Structure 1
């Protein structure tokens, strides 16, 4: 691997996560030309100082994947690596994406990993993960998407084999309506607090302009998920975001999203454009 390849750190704990991580690590280089995915079980050779190598890889990675199962979500080592990745990318352009292996919903996640925007281990979730990697790596999304469609069936079969070989897993925790409401309110409060911190300089304004995670948080909070792309811009009145949707959101969802976007300093519009062009959501 070349020094300028995108280095991806994949964190795991437990037999199911280990097997899934191996498949992901093998699969990603088939889709991207210039990436270097790494997991400790494969890449640490006998006789080396494992902890030092893990630390070195953490410090030199620009993207993090956390493979989360019902077995490992409370494991100390997994949460330690998640915290280290979060600190590594704080204020930068890197991203951390949890992959939920045997959960029905992201709200079933407990503990520190909930701070990240996760994806399910299914076709839609993996497409979203690849879009995130594409944005960080600067790759050509149509090419990556074509490779994704070509390779998906084989990858899906490999994951099913990994699930079967790992055996029975703990049941995902039940989530009540009260739990969901508290989580939504907490995310809304977080977005509102960020919206109060207005840029105080041109540099801060540019940093805010490029923060696509803010838009993703807004859309996720109000339950708008069928988005093909969005494009950030500016107008005479401030910053804008144009969201292209495969399926248009409900009027109440769109109104809530516009309100939250306004607090962040954006004017948000929605377009029904199944093949829309723009910046794919990361």
Structure 2
């Protein structure tokens, strides 16, 4: 009888491990599958039972997730089994290219099986010497569904935002004590309006993105010379019908509006910077009438800061001093959530309400 040891660490990995165990037992009832949570009885010595089952197993399966990839316990079990020349197979449940990146990881020599890529039916049948029957195919299809349901249950944030949040989380500036996840929203405690944030936004949009909506005031960082590639890309897209599906919207505060007098503590500097940035925008956009139409001027008080990058919203609520002037937002806290959430739908509607009332930039003398 073939013996399988399933290694896991942390709650989500544990739930995946239970599904893997159940699936293997359905594929072949003659396979003996050991998992510590289910197969250690009260009163038994846990570590002795685990060590004994690793020593007696034929295959050790590790259930890897993004949060447990550096787990000392997984590393220990993998290393111990590898030292005994057991077959060690990492099961990857998340799309994480850095899962085996730590020093002297015994997984550097093991071929992984990815839930996100590849042929799971073929992988399972090769590992356990099974036939690719319609029954086994049905079992694997149910396995995929169970894993997806489990992923959704444990998902910190809606799937539309996962890539963006992962990129933000890789920057130390945003992650000293964040993000914090609540109700499918990622709360970053610092980093708003920084160059690092804009760099990630632009990199996420270029060549693969469809939506980029910006509800700015001066947009100085955007037109400061660091993101010329963005406007070259948009210029190329503007030559295609409907911009090849690209939806780019950018709003400046109208320099002639009453609100410009309340938009910054130092009004003279703000007005000068606003006009200077708009002149830069004119130089960059030039005579491209398609991109000119993507820019508008609003005159209302901005009480919500909204950036849409594809189907994610980056959101910040301004804070005002006792005179009603907004405090500086650079390095402020911000949120990320899906456009399909209730908050996301509110932001989409709010943005479009402001956009529809805003005036065409070409009517302003700078353009």
How high is the TM-score relative to the length of structure 1?
0.51
How far apart are the structure 2 equivalents of 1:30 and 1:140? 12
Aligned to 1:98: 90
Moved over 6 A (4+): none
Secondary structure of the residue that 1:37 maps to in structure 2? strand
Aligned to 1:141: 131
Matches within 5 A, 1:16-55: 16-55=12-51
Q: CA deviation at 1:167?
A: 3.3
Aligned to 2:146: 158
Secondary structure of the residue that 2:118 maps to in structure 1? helix
Secondary structure of the residue that 1:110 maps to in structure 2? coil
- Which one is further off, 155-164 or 11-20? 155-164
Secondary structure of the residue that 1:67 maps to in structure 2? strand
Matches within 5 A, 1:57-206: 57-89=53-85, 94-105=86-97, 108-111=99-102, 112=105, 113-122=107-116, 124-134=118-128, 139-142=129-132, 145-168=133-156, 171=166
Aligned to 1:279: none
Aligned to 1:268: none
Secondary structure of the residue that 1:117 maps to in structure 2? coil
What is the Cα-based RMSD across aligned positions, in Å? 2.4
How high is the TM-score relative to the length of structure 2?
0.40
Secondary structure of the residue that 1:160 maps to in structure 2? helix
Q: CA deviation at 1:116?
A: 1.1
Pick the structure with greater CA Rg. Answer: 2
Q: Which runs of 5+ in 2 are unaligned?
A: 158-164, 171-367
CA distance 1:41–1:171, change in 2 (3 Å): farther
CA distance 1:9–1:163, change in 2 (3 Å): same
Number of aligned positions between the proteins: 159
Secondary structure of the residue that 2:111 maps to in structure 1? coil
The structure carrying a bigger helix percent of its residues is 1
Aligned to 2:185: none
Q: Is the 1:7–1:62 contact (alpha carbons within 8 Å) kept by the matching residues of 2? A: yes
Q: Kindly provide the CA deviation profile for residues 183-221 of structure 1, in whole angstroms up to 9, marking residues without a partner as x.
A: xxxxxxxxxxxxxxxxxxxxxxxxxxxxxxxxxxxxxxx
How far apart are the structure 2 equivalents of 1:31 and 1:75? 29
Q: Kindly provide the CA deviation profile for residues 132-175 of structure 1, in whole angstroms up to 9, marking residues without a partner as x.
A: 323xxxx4424xx433312233212211221122232894898x
How far apart are the structure 1 equivalents of 2:119 and 2:130? 19
Q: Which runs of 5+ in 1 are unaligned?
A: 175-282
- Which one is further off, 45-54 or 114-123? 114-123
Q: CA deviation at 1:108?
A: 4.6
CA distance 1:79–1:151, change in 2 (3 Å): same
Q: CA deviation at 1:50?
A: 0.5
Q: Is the 1:74–1:110 contact (alpha carbons within 8 Å) kept by the matching residues of 2? A: no
Higher relative contact order (CA 8 A, sep 6+): 1
Q: Is the 2:23–2:140 contact (alpha carbons within 8 Å) kept by the matching residues of 1? A: no
Q: Is the 1:58–1:85 contact (alpha carbons within 8 Å) kept by the matching residues of 2? A: yes
Secondary structure of the residue that 1:141 maps to in structure 2? coil
